[in-house]
């Protein structure tokens, strides 16, 4: 039991690191723009490197961890995150900064996938509930990082502060050294034919495409809500950012509820409640003209999106227990590819038709998620 608790705590710390890392680049973007005299195109290039790194880390961690175990990849992820933090803080050239951002994304993507796979492997029952508790720590990291930067930046400056925070992965690596992670599941290696077979599995692909929609929904809310509230609803930037933080808070609180109050609820019930919250939140955001209404809508949307990844990864962890790392790699790769594509397409829609169509794109994603979830639940039940 003590070994289980230490492994669970280590995975939660890893997810906390992912939450911190994912939000860091956006939080320090103004300082980087000023330091390197970046225009909008240059800034956009930096932001595009991070998801490429995350995608690469997400793709590679699974087969490696299934073959060699988790410990090495956890330590490698910490090393990449440490190098990324220090590079963002002190890189003297734009080329070095871009390389460090890639390492930063690689470490974050790998540790995100590995923490989810570890929790799935050590959870004999209630995989979805435990994965939901893991997701709470992502929310804590994502909510806490901007607050820490905002409070301490004037005293330390963004460079020193990012460098100091960058030592957290080193401390995490020390804990990981003494953590007993699940042993390798495929000691003779993951045959390419097995990977191809997994990639052709209908249930795996359906889960991947469901989470593609889920990840895309999260992307447009994270990246376009402030523009929607400022440009379409004429809110102040500070109110728009505060409303976005409430969205993350709603997701975090709901994941805590799924891992505790709704711990023994079936995936079908959890998803049904989530869809009701998601629909209510989308309609509320679409119709709201005052800040309070928009804030309520975003809290409901965050709550509605909380269950997608934990529930679906829980189902995948049960079905593909012998290849959980590889299966999770495939799923995360599909989801992140959709995230990047939809984020770009949302930019096209906003440019040609107006930012007010944010809720239209969200509705389309919502309508795709419902039939996908019904099919997945039927197939996994059978």
State phi, psi for 365 to the nearest 5 degrees. -65, -40
Amino acid 27: pLDDT: 67
**Single residue among 190, 205, 239 that ends a domain in this structure:** 190
pLDDT of residue 30: 67
Tokens found for residue 63: 């087969």
Per the structure, how many domains does the chain have? 2
> In the listed set 168, 190, 212, which residue is the last one of a domain according to the structure?
190
Domain enclosing residue 161, as ranges: 1-190
- Between 211 and 348, the higher pLDDT residue: 211
Shared-domain flag, residues 163 and 254: no
Distance from the Cα of residue 366 to its chain's centroid: 18
Which one is predicted more confidently, 40 or 31?
A: 31
User: Same structural domain for residues 336 and 379?
Assistant: yes
- State how far the Cα of 75 lies from the Cα of 201, in Å rounded to an integer: 31
**Which pLDDT band, with edges at 50, 70 and 90, does 125 fall under?**
confident
Q: pLDDT class for 187, splitting at 50, 70, 90?
A: low
* Residues 66 and 39 reside in one and the same domain: yes
- Tell whether 174 and 244 lie within a shared domain: no
Query: For position 191, what pLDDT does the model report?
Result: 61
Share of the chain above pLDDT 90, in %: 43
Q: Are residues 27 and 166 in the same domain?
A: yes
What pLDDT is stored for residue 44 in this prediction? 65
Residue 81 reports pLDDT greater than 90: yes
Work out the mean pLDDT of the chain and round it to a whole number.
Answer: 87
Same domain, 34 and 135: yes
CB 85 within 8 A of CB 342: no
CATH number at residue 81: 1.20.1250.20
CA atoms within 13 A on the CB side of 356: 9
End-to-end CA distance of the chain: 32
Residues 176 and 207 reside in one and the same domain: no
Alpha carbon distance 265, 251 (integer Å)? 18
SS3 320: coil
Contact (CB, 8 A) for 161 and 153:
yes
Q: What does each C-alpha distance from 364 to 61, 220, 227, 277 come to in angstroms?
A: 32, 12, 20, 16
CB crowding 189-209: b at 16 or more within 10 Å, else e: ebeeebbeebeebebbebbbb
Q: pLDDT tens across 252-295, in order?
A: 999 999 998 888 899 999 999 999 999 999 999 988 888 888 89
Asked whether residue 1 falls in the same domain as residue 25, the answer is yes
Crossing angle for the helix pair 358-381 and 324-353, to the nearest 10 degrees: 160
180 and 310 share one domain: no
**176 & 239 share domain:** no
Residue 118 has pLDDT above 90, yes or no: yes
Kindly report whether the global pTM for this prediction surpasses the value 0.85.
yes
Are 30 and 147 members of one domain?
Answer: yes
Regarding whether 217 and 168 lie in a shared domain, the answer is: no
CA dist 1 to 7, 121, 122, 179, 338, Å?
Answer: 10, 15, 11, 13, 39
Give me 380's structure tokens: 């996994």
Question: Which of 114, 138, 60 shows the shortest CA–CA distance to 313?
Answer: 114
Q: What is the pLDDT of residue 155?
A: 76
Phi then psi for residue 264, to 5 deg, are -100, 10
Domain boundary (166, 190, 214) is at 190
Q: Among 163-167, 203-207, 230-234, where is mean pLDDT lowest?
A: 230-234
């Amino acid at each position: 039991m003590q070994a289980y608790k230490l492994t669970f705590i280590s995975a939660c710390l890893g997810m906390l690191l992912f939450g911190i890392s994912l939000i860091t680049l956006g939080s320090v973007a103004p300082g980087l723009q000023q330091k390197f005299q970046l225009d909008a195109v240059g800034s956009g290039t930096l932001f595009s490197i991070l998801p490429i790194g995350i995608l690469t880390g997400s793709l590679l961690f699974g087969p490696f961890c299934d073959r060699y175990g988790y410990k090495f990849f956890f330590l490698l992820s910490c090393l990449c995150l440490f190098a990324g933090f220090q590079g963002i803080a002190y890189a003297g050239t734009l080329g070095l900064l871009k390389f460090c951002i890639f390492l930063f994304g690689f470490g974050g993507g790998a540790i995100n996938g590995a923490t989810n796979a570890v929790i799935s492997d050590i959870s004999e029952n209630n995989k979805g509930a435990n994965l939901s508790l893991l997701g709470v720590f992502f929310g804590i990291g994502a909510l806490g990082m901007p607050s820490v930067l905002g409070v301490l930046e004037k005293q330390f400056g963004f460079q020193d502060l990012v460098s100091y925070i960058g030592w957290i992965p080193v401390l995490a690596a020390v804990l990981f050294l003494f953590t007993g992670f699940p042993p390798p599941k495929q000691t003779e290696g993951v045959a390419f034919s097995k990977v191809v077979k997994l990639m052709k599995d209908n249930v795996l692909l359906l889960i991947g495409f469901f989470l593609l929609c889920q990840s895309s929904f999260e992307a447009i809310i994270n990246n376009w809500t402030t523009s929607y509230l400022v440009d379409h609803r004429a809110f102040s930037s500070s109110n728009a950012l505060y409303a976005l933080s409430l969205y993350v808070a709603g997701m975090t609180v709901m994941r805590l509820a799924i891992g505790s109050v709704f711990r023994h609820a079936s995936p079908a019930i959890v998803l049904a409640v989530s869809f009701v919250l998601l629909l209510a939140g989308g309609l509320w955001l679409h119709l709201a003209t005052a800040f309070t209404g928009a804030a309520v809508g975003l809290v409901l949307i965050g709550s509605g999106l909380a269950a997608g990844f934990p529930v679906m990864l829980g189902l995948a962890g049960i079905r593909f227990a012998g290849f959980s790392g590889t299966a999770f790699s495939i799923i995360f790769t599909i989801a992140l590819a959709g995230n990047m594509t939809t984020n770009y397409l949302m930019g096209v829609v906003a440019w040609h038709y107006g930012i007010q169509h944010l809720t239209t794109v969200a509705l389309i994603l919502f309508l795709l998620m419902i039939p996908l979830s019904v099919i997945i639940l039927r197939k996994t039940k059978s």
